[in-house]
Copies of this chain bind each other. A is one copy, B any other.
Amino acid sequence: MKCKVCRGPAVIDLPRHNANFCADHFLRYCRNQVERVIHDYAMLTPGERVLVAVSGGKDSLALWDLLGELGWETDGLYVGLGIGDYSDVSGGYARRFAAERGLRLNEVDLRATYDFDIPTAAAVTRRVPCSACGLSKRHLFDAAAVDGGYDAMATGHNLDDEAAVLYGNVLRWQMAYLGRQRPVLPAGNGFPRKVKPLVRLTERETAAYCVLRGIDYQVEECPMAAGNRHLGYKEVLNEMERRSPGTKSSFYFGFVDRAVDLFAQEAWSGPSGGVGFDDGAADDGGASGRPLGHCTRCGAPAESDLCAFCRLVDRAGGAQPVPVAPPRRRS
C-alpha cells in the first residue's frame, strides 16, 4: 500500500477517495479538507476569532488542532456535564491538550454553576439524556460565543455525525430540522455564527489524525448515549459505505449542495435550537431565522419568558445526583 502522493509506505487507505496516504500526506489531506470546506461554505474570513466547543474526544481536539495549524485564532470551551468518570477523564484530555499548546480553555461546570448534571436532568425530565445534554451544550456554547465576542463557534461534527443526523431527519421528514442542517449557520437573533469545519472528514479520519499528531483523547463512548438511534443510523450508513464507498459523502453533500435550500422556508415553523431527530449529542443548533424574544432571566434568545435552558435549570437544579453506569469501550 503506497501513498498516492509520494509513493512512500502508506498508513491509511481512504476507499471513497480511492487513495492511500503516508502520515505526512494524510495530515496534509486533513488540513486541505478543512481549508476547502471553510472556503466553500464561507465559514470564516481571515482575522476572525473562533470559539471551539471542546469535549476531549477525537473530533473536537482534531478540530482545535487543525484550526490552529491553518492559522486561526482560537479559544476552547469545555462544559463539565457531570457524567461520572467519563466527564472527569474527558476534561483531563481537554485541559492537557490546551496546556501543552498554550491555548486558552474556558470551562463551565453544570453542577458547580447550575446545581444539576446530565444524568440528573435526564432522570428529572424523563427524556433521553442526549436531549438535556444537547440543549445544555448549545445554550452554554452559544452564550459563551456571544458574550466573548467571538466571530464564530466551531463544533467537531464530522461526516459520520452529519450523515447520521440527516438520515434520521429524512426517515421522518423532519422539515424544520432539515431546513437548518447546514455546515454553517449565520449569526442572527442573538445566536452566534456556527460552523462545522470537519464535515469532509469521517470519524475514522479524525481518530487517525489524532494518533498521527500525538493527540491523546477520550476513547470511551459516552455511557449515556449507548443504544440511541443515532448510533444505529451510523451502523446502517457504515454498512452502505462499505458496499459502496462514497455513499455518506454523496448523501450529505448532495443534500447540502442541492436540497437544503428547498427546506429553508420550513425552518421558520420549527423549534429553535436543535437540528436533529432526537436533539441529541451530535446535533447542533443555531439561528432559525425566526424572530425571537429574550429570556427574562439570562437574556438568551427565547420563545417564551424563560429560555429552554433556564426551564431545565428550574426542573433539574438542586436535584439529588443520580449514579451513572461505567463507560464502555468503543467497540
Contact = CB atoms under 8 A, between A and B. Distances in A.
B254 A172 contact: yes
Contacts of A254: 171-173
A17 interface: no
A329 interface: no
Given A240-B236, A243-B232, A258 B175 contact: yes
A80 B167 CA distance: 39
Contacts of A259: 173, 175
A263 interface: yes
Given A243-B232, A262-B262, A263-B262, A250 B171 contact: yes
A170 interface: yes
A29 interface: no
A291 to B, nearest CB: 23
B170 A250 contact: no
How many chain copies does the complex carry?
A: 2
Interface of A is mostly: helix
A29 to B, nearest CB: 25
Contacts of A173: 250-251, 254-255, 258-259
Interface in A284-312: none
A95 to B, nearest CB: 40
A87 interface: no
A206 to B, nearest CB: 23
Contact of A172 (B170, B239, B250, B263): B250
Interface residues of A, number: 19
A251 B251 CA distance: 16
A141 to B, nearest CB: 30
Contacts of A175: 258-259
A247 interface: yes
24 contacts: A170-B170, A170-B251, A171-B240, A171-B247, A171-B250, A171-B251, A171-B254, A172-B250, A172-B251, A172-B254, A173-B250, A173-B251, A173-B254, A173-B255, A173-B258, A173-B259, A175-B258, A175-B259, A232-B243, A236-B236, A236-B239, A236-B240, A262-B262, A262-B263
Interface of A: 170-173, 175, 232, 236, 239-240, 243, 247, 250-251, 254-255, 258-259, 262-263
Given A171-B247, A173-B251, 19 more contacts: A170-B251, A171-B240, A171-B250, A171-B254, A172-B251, A172-B254, A173-B250, A173-B254, A173-B255, A173-B258, A173-B259, A175-B258, A175-B259, A232-B243, A236-B236, A236-B239, A236-B240, A262-B262, A262-B263
